[in-house]
Structure 1
Amino acid sequence: MGGTVTVDRRGQVLVITLDRPARRNAVDGATARALAAAVDDLDADPTLAVGVLTGAGGTFCSGMDLGAFLTGDLPEVPGRGFGGITRRPPETPLVAAVEGYALAGGCELALACDLVVAAEDAVFGIPEVTRGLFAGSGGLLRLPRRIPPAIALEHALTGDPLPAVEGARWGLVNRLTPPGGALAGALELAERIARNGPLAVRVTKHVVQTAPEWPADEVWDRQQVLLDQVMGSDDAREGARAFAEKRPPVWTGR
């Protein structure tokens, strides 16, 4: 992955690590491209059920690499957005494991993930307004969907940090862990998801994320198309057989 992102397969879970600890995992162009390639690999492999995104060296991500930016090295991938995932996240569920800081673009990477596990002393934030900018890589779009809109607006307008404990209270963080335990907590959650049918999991994610934007008169018809797809799958038949035979299912993703 070009040395800025590492991947580690653990059963049906792919751990993707931003690996620039000397730069607090700030994202440059190479990192964005490597991260996009990693999530493409995650989606392309039907035997992978979940991804976990984390950062090396005790920090999740400090955002854009400003030094690289000043040389014209943009941390974006065309059609994919900042970090290669904020505009088009993977279809496979992605869990953020957050230690330390997830600020600016780092917070937007965490928001592009489906679930967040964070250490109790982790800190989130979209402080772009303090530099005369705004969080244009999904922060202003996703944060009001994850926490109460008025709370999101306060943090967006002030640039104030959002401690993980407060984020958990508002629903941004699914699980809190002791410092240093975010990756283990994220893996435990990912492995629970990975026990389930991968096709059913992906479609479930798709419905939860997109159904609020479906036209009201199309909601049931659109869901039925997806339901027919899942009900007609090999995995649906395997799930029924495994239940009847009182054994764990063996999923194929088809």
Structure 2
Amino acid sequence: MSPPSTVPSVSEEVLVSFPKDHVLLLTLHRPKSLNALTPQMTEDLRRVLNWFEDEPSLWVVVITGSGRAFCAGADLKAWNRDEQNGKPMSPETILSNIHGFASISRRESIKPFIAAVNGSSFGGGTELILNCDLVVASKDASFGLPEVKRGVIAIQGGIPRLSRIAGHQLASEMLLLGKPVTADDARNRFGFVNVVVPTSDVLSAALDLASQIVANSPDSVQSTKKALLLAQKHSNEETVSAHVRGPETLGNLYGDNIKEGLRAFNEKRTPVWQNAGTRSKL
């Protein structure tokens, strides 16, 4: 698959590439600053990810960082300069960013997000990871939510998601102490890392997971992701079941891909999927 021709333009702080069919790779690219997020990076990511949501040929996004860190969170030096210059960040500014930190930490996308964590991650960087569907981490990766040490709060989505994943006491350990945890602890104790690999293998392992996803029907994947989002919001099992049984979900599933899946099974071959929502004209 050739890259889409309508890719939004971005600054040099975010690298956009297409390493595999149907896969978008976004690389945070401020290695000297440990990929700390700037307003420009946020705008770049917002623009590309909004486009990704509407681009039918892209089914999965992988996010990683350049250099020895994944993301050090917000650029605190810039934040401090703004505070000293009488330009404090207001609660309204934070709340108006509906998709959260890096335009990811509160984003509700029906397409899968994979984090390829190649080193340390702090603050908003960890919050955006907590909102990804799959997380691959290097053995030397670390994850921290040190907001309490800076007089702020993990308000960009980290608190509810970590509490839901890890439970109250373990979430409190990260959020109230502000101490980082290792990749092994993030996987074995806290439960928000799927795979731990050598640093050199992080991106290839994440892209392998992306390949496994795009080997499946995008209609099924996206309907399942939507059900997972509903399950996070609602304790009522009937709400999630209603989505799965609803006309929108069933309408999406009963397109060309369900027919292809059944044909491929009977013909003992690999399915050739179409973009989600594809229906052949009669």
The two structures have a TM-score, normalised by structure 2, of 0.84
Structure 2: gaps (5+ residues): 1-9, 278-282
- 8 Å CA contact 1:42–1:92 kept in 2: the answer is no
Say which of 44, 57, 65 aligns to 1:47. 57
Q: What's the offset of the Cα at 1:187?
A: 0.8
**Does 2:108 align with 1:86?**
no
Say which of 191, 203, 206 aligns to 2:211. 191
Partner of 2:71, secondary structure, is coil
Say which of 212, 216, 220 aligns to 1:200. 220
Name 1:223's counterpart in structure 2: 244
Q: Report sequence identity in percent.
A: 37
Partner of 2:36, secondary structure, is coil
Letter in 2 for 1:209: L
The two structures have a TM-score, normalised by structure 1, of 0.93
Name 1:100's counterpart in structure 2: 119
Letter in 2 for 1:53: I
Say which of 240, 245, 265 aligns to 1:243. 265
Say which of 125, 136, 139 aligns to 1:120. 139
Instruction: Point out which structure has higher relative CO (alpha carbons under 8 A, 6+ apart).
Output: 1
Q: CA RMSD in A?
A: 1.9
- 8 Å CA contact 1:58–1:99 kept in 2: the answer is yes
Q: What's the offset of the Cα at 1:47?
A: 1.9
Select between 75-84 and 102-111 the one with higher mean Cα deviation: 75-84
Select between 121-130 and 30-39 the one with higher mean Cα deviation: 30-39
Q: What's the offset of the Cα at 1:73?
A: 9.2
- TM superposition outliers: structure 1 runs of 4+ over 4 Å: 72-77
Name 2:14's counterpart in structure 1: 5
C-alpha separation in 2, matches of 1:73 and 1:178? 40
C-alpha separation in 1, matches of 2:237 and 2:137? 36
Letter in 1 for 2:67: G
Select between 188-197 and 231-240 the one with higher mean Cα deviation: 231-240
Q: What's the offset of the Cα at 1:156?
A: 0.6
Q: What's the offset of the Cα at 1:231?
A: 3.2
Q: What's the offset of the Cα at 1:91?
A: 2.5
Per-residue displacement from partner, 1:167-193 (whole Å, max 9, x unpaired)? 110321100001232111111111111
Select between 241-250 and 137-146 the one with higher mean Cα deviation: 241-250
C-alpha separation in 2, matches of 1:131 and 1:78? 21
C-alpha separation in 1, matches of 2:145 and 2:220? 33
Partner of 2:199, secondary structure, is coil
C-alpha separation in 2, matches of 1:2 and 1:86? 21
Structure of larger gyration radius: 2
